[in-house]
Chain A
């Protein structure tokens, strides 16, 4: 393996280690569930991304073939991370917050955590 490849792999691993650490440290430092939610959804994306880039360079340099597993991991991560964050946020809002703590949506109906969509329920006569 060439020196350049080793250098790039080491760099990617160090960067990912730093961001993984910061993401975990954020969980301790930030206060409240909603603030804590920000640390793992972002800082760790680059943490995992760095390891994946290092893995791609490693296999490209060692075997000379392009490995696409890492791209798929990135894809699945980008598909699942926002959904997990959204579920956690919604659960937190439903359990620990009142609707008066949130900004009002003057133009339309209320937030879906607390309100049904307009028309739903009226049509069947059940509320």
Chain B
């Protein structure tokens, strides 16, 4: 019964929090309206969620978010340095192929988004069978090191979060 009423508890909670954030005022009326959205929207969109991602280890998620936020700040400074102080012919861009161990679509989406937001890399495309991700790197002297860092810093943590 509860499963039918709240098919996607995390989505419901997210909708409630985003609603309260959008109105930017915490009142009982907003709480009830947000809860109503949290109940109705997952029910209407349930057919589009064939597999619910299972999340494990909430502390790992918090750690991952903190690491990514820090890396975004570092990435901004690094890319700014490359843009400002490197002469154009010295910028060596590389295509980097990162083989994936992740299998769930949600985990790969998070990884691709993370790669785009962090140091000098943009995720360009995925292999058709999702066995590897193709990354474009703005400037590096050692493409293998970039690949290993993506695997050890982000993918290994996502493997623990999405078991």
Q: Is the CB of B131 within 8 A of A108?
A: yes
A75 CA to B69 CA, complexed, in Å: 12
B41 contacts the other chain (CB 8 A): no
Would B21 and A68 count as touching, CB distance under 8 A? yes
Bound together, the chains give a CA A31 to CA B92 distance in angstroms of 11
- Say yes or no: A112-B113 contact (C-beta < 8 A), given A38-B79, A103-B97: no
* B113–A82 CB distance below 8 A: yes
Q: Is the CB of B132 within 8 A of A90?
A: no
Whether a CB of chain B sits under 8 angstroms from the CB of A45 is yes
- Range of interface residues on chain B? 35 or more
Residue among A26, A34, A75, A117 making CB contact with B136, cutoff 8 Å: A34
Is the CB of A17 closer than 8 A to any CB of chain B? no
A-B contacts counted at CB < 8 A amount to: 139
Q: A34-B136, A71-B21 are in contact. Are A22 and B84 (CB under 8 A)?
A: yes
Q: Is the interface of A mostly helix, strand, loop or mixed?
A: helix
Question: Is B128 an interface residue when CB atoms closer than 8 A count as contact?
Answer: yes
Number of interface residues of A (CB under 8 A): 50
Q: Mark B89-118, 1 if CB is under 8 A from A, else 0.
A: 001010111010000000000001101110
Which one, A18, A43, A102, A117, contacts B95 given CB within 8 A? A102
User: Which residues in window 5-32 of B have CB below 8 A to A?
Assistant: 18, 20-22, 24
Task: Give 1 or 0 for each of A84-118: 1 = CB within 8 Å of chain B CB.
Answer: 01100110010000000011010111111101111
Is the beta-carbon distance between A43 and B128 smaller than 8 angstroms?
Answer: no
Interface string of B61-91 (1 = CB under 8 A from A): 0000000000011011101100110001001
Interface status of B156 (Cβ within 8 A of chain A): no
- A62 within 8 A of partner (CB): no
Knowing A39-B79, A41-B117, A86-B123, say if A117 contacts B73 (CB, 8 Å): no
CA distance A86 to B108 in the complex (A): 13
Contact B84 A118 (CB under 8 A): no
Q: Does B38 contact A (CB under 8 A)?
A: no
A46, CB-defined interface residue at 8 Å: yes
**Nearest CB of chain B from residue A28's CB, rounded to whole Å:** 10
**CA–CA, A11 and B77, complex, Å:** 16
The answer to whether A42 touches B75 (Cβ under 8 A) is yes
Q: Contact mask A2-13 → B, CB, 8 Å, 1/0?
A: 000000000000
In the complex, the chain A residue whose C-beta lies closest to that of B22 is A72
Q: When A90-B124, A103-B97, A111-B128 are in contact, do A42 and B136 touch as well, CB less than 8 Å? A: no
- 14 A–B contacts from the bound complex (CB under 8 Å): A25-B84, A26-B79, A30-B91, A31-B88, A35-B138, A42-B117, A42-B120, A45-B76, A46-B77, A107-B132, A108-B132, A110-B128, A111-B125, A111-B128
